[in-house]
Structure 1
Amino acid sequence: MRISQLFSLFFKFSELSAENVLYHFKDDTVILPCYQFLNETIVWQGPGNYSTYGIGKIIDPKLSKSKRLSIIHVNGSLQYNLQIRHFSSEDEGQYKCIRGGSLKGVKEEFFNLTIGTRPSNLTIVEADSQHIVYGYLNRVLDLSCTVIHGIPKGKLVWMVNNKILEEKTTALLVYSFKPKQDDHLKNYTCATKSIIAQYVMERTVQLFVYMPPIVSISYNKTLDIFEGEALTLYCNYSSNHKVKGLKWQKMLPHKSPLDEQSPYLNIKSITRQNAGKYKCTVTNMASIASDFVTIDVYYPPKVHIKFEEHGHYRQLNCLANGVPDQYIFTQWEHKSDYYDLIRYLPDDGSGRLILPNIKGETDRHHDRGFYICQASNNVSLNGSSSFVRGDFFLNSPGKPYFVTSNNNTQYGIKDQVGNLTVNFVSFPEITKFTVIGVDKIHPNDNHTLETWRVIDKVYNKTVFVNGSRLVISMYIRNESDFRSYTIKLRNKFGSANFNISLRSASCPETPEIMKIMPKTSKILIQWRAKFHGGFPQSVVIQYRRRDVQYWNEIPVSGPGMQIDSIDGLTSGTEYLIRIYSENIKGKSNFTDVKLIRTGSTKVSDNETLVFFVLVVPFLISIGVLYWQYKKGNVRALERISCFKRQQFIYEVGVGAVENNVYEMQNNVEQHAVAQNAVAQNLDVPVYSSIDRRANLTIGQTVSYSTTPKRKRNYLEKRKENRASVGQASGTVNSATKKGPDRLSYIEVSFEPNPNEYKFYIHGSENRTNYVDIDFSKKVSSYADSHRESDDDSIPQACAMQNYE
């Protein structure tokens, strides 16, 4: 075969082998067409590497889906179409129709079947729940239509009155335009187009166009009227939606606010101040529209005031200009910057007012303010007054001064930023200010200075004047900052001083628990009050059993370093303790909660035993020695060598013994508090002495070490507290500490569970049993304090208040 023939065959084969991509929905009935050529048998192949589905009109029965497949052929027809019922994902893939039996006559047609999906969520973004879109006249409006595409992707179309405005294959189609008047209330439709069947989704919205109002005033643009006559103006407007506002405004030459908010502006009796241009403004969602009218008023004379400076005095002249040119003047009015009346001043009959420079008053700017005169030429319209007013604002410079409304006593809170605040008047403005304390000049970097409406007494009249407020911030570190301060202001005319006493006004600070000493049926508490907050404070102790929810309160004695007791407690019981302070401003925070266990009865018995075994004989020996000394038997004292060598340590009237005995006494106290003795009867007692200079291990059961260590002496504290408790009041006074509160001790270690003998700690004399050891129990740790959360409320801290 020639090359040209092969190329021609390849070209035709490629042309005929083009793939047809077809989309169908699930469960559809799909028909793939195929025409017979040369009267040869048709072969259909499908997914699964072009497996043979059918030959001629016969479907391969071995196919799992053969019951859903069939070849549609009408006798005499050339079509052998493959029909697939209940189309599913199993049917997706490549299909091929083979026509002709020899290579020369073979022609194939390819199909690619894909499951299609419908588009969803067609939405017009700008539409509200009533399917309305709002736009503004002659402003660009975007109509946005979105869709979630199906398979295959379709098109979005914007239409109005079945006319296509815009069409595009996209998931978001935006149609932008400027609405006109005739677009108002038109319906706009967004629709989808799909190549699968004839499926179309659409959404329709109505366009509401906001249009500006149309405004006109029913009168001519210029109106003439005599003073005293009634004037009515009407604002005529129209709007296609709700009006947001309507207001009348008075324009030049005499601008003044108007309260009229209705279409009618009524002036019952017009005056010369009413002359000028009036504007009616209507506002709606779209825009603002206005219309104007000018009112010319004929009125009695105009009045103004002329000011003259003459050194020792100042002069104000009331000038009138009207017809006739003969005037009557009334008394003058003096008003503050805020138009508060200060005083009336007499007129000399010519409309002239003299203001002398009075020492002191002028320095305080009291002549500053508005001066008003009234003049009349006896022209009265419609029965109104014939007097016309004129005013003038007089500026009166001088040295600064502090207004009468200042407070000499101001308040702050310790450990917070406080303010020293003064109101003053200064024209011109101050150039410098200084804050002087008792012993130093405070920096004034942290301050604010602003114009302020202040209250002052001017010529014995309390009014608002235009002044300034100076606020100086300072951090109050300690109580010494509550003292007197002097604020000094200066401008180019001079200076002025003002004294402020800064006082505290806050809740008290949280007191501090110094020491807690548990006894059998009570607990001694040593505490110290902190800063009182500026007011007398009282301290309250709260306590409760650990297993009880509610707190008990005990008001205690005055502030300072104090010792108080909580009586009537149960021995061997854990209690929670906390303290707070309060004054007239409120309560402080609670201290940390302390967990304390009262002593058991066994502890009390051991203390008594120690007292009688060790202390009483010692006191008796001291008494005997003192009796020998009084009899003059000094040699008897000298023969007692321990009197010369041994040091005695007194603490609240009780003497201590030599260190090795003291160590034993301390261990007796601690083990008596921490453990409950469990007695056992052993037939064979075994004793082992402890040498303080060596270490010993007794088998694998017990060992000890005499390495010198220091440990808190709870026995000393209990003796100290017991000696200082007041019997009558139930409280204790501070006791003077005369002995050490830490002791050397010996550590004795036992096996967790000895299997032969029960161990005891005995004294060196007569094998006195000091401590029984129960290996079945665990020692509780008696710490000075233990934090424990509870759901009780914490006293609310004082809210900081500003005092001016």
Structure 2
Amino acid sequence: MDRHRFRNILSIVLFSCDLVLTKEVIYKTLGSKVKLVCPIGTTRDIIWTGPPEYKIYAVGTDVSSHVSTLLEIKETAPDKKSVLFIHRFTKDTSGEFRCSDGVNEREFNLVIKRDPSDLAIVNATGGKIITVEGREHNLECMVTSGQPGGNITLSTDGAVVAINRPSLVSYRLIPQRSDNGKLFQCEAFNSEGNSILESSVHLEVFYIPKISFSPNQTLTVKEDEEARLICINDGNDPDANTVWKRHPTNTIITQNDKLNFKSINRIDAGLYTCRVDTKTGVYEDHAKIVVQCKCSNSRYAIFSERKKMVCIPSGVPDRYMFKDWEHTTEYNDHIRFLPITKEGNNAILTFPQNVTRKDQLRDRGIYICRASNNISSTDGIFVMQKYNLNWNGSPYFVSSTENTQYGVYLKTARIKIKFVSVPEYTSYDVYKNGTKFAEYTPTVHRNIRLTDNIYGKNISVKGSSISFQLQIDTIDDFSSYNVFVKNAIGYSNRTIKLVSASAPCMPTILQISAKQTQIFVLWIPGFDGGFLQWFIIEYKEIGDLYWKNQTTRSSNSIVIGGLQPATKYLIRMFSRNMIDDSNRTDFFFIQTDKYAIVETSLSVQSVVILSLVIIIALLVAGMGLYIRRLKERYRERMEPAINVQTPEGTFGESAHYTEIIEIDNLQPTSQENNTSIMSMINRDINLVSAEHTSTSSDNDSDSSEYLDDGYEKPYTTLVVTDQVKDDHVYLTTTKTSDYENAIPFQNVASGHACEIVIEDYISDKTNTHDDQENWNLNYDVNDFYETNDSVPQIYIYPQIDKAEYINLSLNQ
């Protein structure tokens, strides 16, 4: 036996061998069955060794006694390969196994299979990770790897942003403000790809604050006045600390965001630093305070001083014409025209002395100067320049602030004030019966569009509104509340009376008119009780048991459609708000017209037949006229002979034929004339409506079915007796007819607590009269809209002049 073979046999005896062909790693869970197949094909006995330290488990099919209960040796049927069966896998049987026939060997590493564990996101506290806007951050997730190891991932917004194996994954990001609150999820997977562990964390991004100042970074204020400068940072650190320092000493003068001066002095002028200390770092910016000395010759120091605005044009030739100054709001609402005073080549506007600062603020706005030197350009003769006059003054309350406001007992009420303040208001206080009141929750809106009445015109101004929400727990809460609003110039106050809201007052019906399938109702709304009201119109056929109704938010009219022709109806109505219903009006009787309108649709064949009939009728008429003319000529030839024999007879025949001619040329009767005139008026109005309204083409086509239907449609307006003293108001016609559909009202609003003076209402609502006349005139042309809205109105907009504007120099 040579040396090499002897050494192999010795290695088998010593149960160790340095020659390893292959090693297979096998993962099994504890308690499972294990099957190890030795791939060596040989006729020699296979020796199995295993843990610990490669002890002999079996030789051939003989199993060692110390493991005989744990395993057994079998052979595969076809190729007689040795198979090691472990009945129950335990920790003691985990490790390295080896099979050998003395020449060849194969190793197996039997490893206990386990899932990943101990998943954790690094530096996460309370489910959050703190980061700073714009600073790079490394997000890490760690896990104790399983056997075999699987993937570990980081994802956000449903997308995987990082993946690694087997125990660590990281993701680098630069947080932005939009990342604040973003959720990141870490997941650990086993070797089969199943998610075993997961953990989530929210990204908390602290913003790098941007410092700004209110009202401005440069604050200009008059000496001895109150001043305030506010340092604002847009960071999100709730524990940020703000201090103000004075240059050049850097002395801390206040430890909050507000720098206040009760009576500023010229020595307070200078540079100030706002320093903000946050979790992201320390940031600062500078603001400047300019103190103006109250000089006696200042044009704008005293409000009662007369002020001028000078418009200085420039052009060749330098002979100018001026138009009146135009005063508008910043929303381009026209306020007034002001006369110019010409001094040389300049236009002067002198402002009158104002008694109150509110009057001063009424003169704020845009002033427009228009000038011309008669040199025409392609865009016009007059050029213009605008100047924004922005005077300061005490706050003032706009006209749309309601002095009486409403609430409901045991519910929440709101007192709302609207005001203009230049400069911006600084504080407000509420007093109830002379005592300061603070039991409210305020809601503030700044720089909003408000309605005000200036120089007799309702225009839009920029201002603020404050709503005070308070709970009405006792009757004493219905009281007067005096609201004071202050700014750097002064203060103003307004007393608001809070009264108990109620059900609305009963509306007053003015007119009811009917068509074939529709009824038009016009009324005067009563007091709304302090809340938004809507209207319910009830109607039914005479003899019906139940009332039908239609609801509308229109303030004064409705069209009820879908009715039966030639049917008598009862009409009544009431109003409703969030409190209750008003009383119902008396019911009124009206009958729809008995002639229904039938829609017809002509086919092409019908149109051809109709055209032929018309042509034949025209030919017959022409032939008749021709024959008649021949007869007249025949009579003319016969008249001389007849006149010679019987003059009397000639006179009689001539008179006879003259009478016939007069009859043939008779004008229409008065009734026919009225009908044709009305038809012409209707057509004219329809033309105007088509040009000046935005009615849809569908409505226009529907209206054609009411033209020339051959029936007279008289409608007489109902008049409220004992209340309306002006007889012509709402009386659109005095003509009577067999088809009269309306009845006069008798004491419509009598006996109700909410009395309405109709004459006053009509004087304030002149458009209502115009709308009703328009409705009656268009009755045959423009059909009602079958909705709950009011009757359509016709608006004709004047053309607006256009001009090209060039710069003018304006001095104040």
Give the alignment's TM-score, normalised by structure 2.
0.32
Structure 1 or 2: more strand by fraction: 1
Give the alignment's TM-score, normalised by structure 1.
0.32
Structure 1 or 2: more helix by fraction: 2
Q: Which structure's CA Rg is the greater one?
A: 1
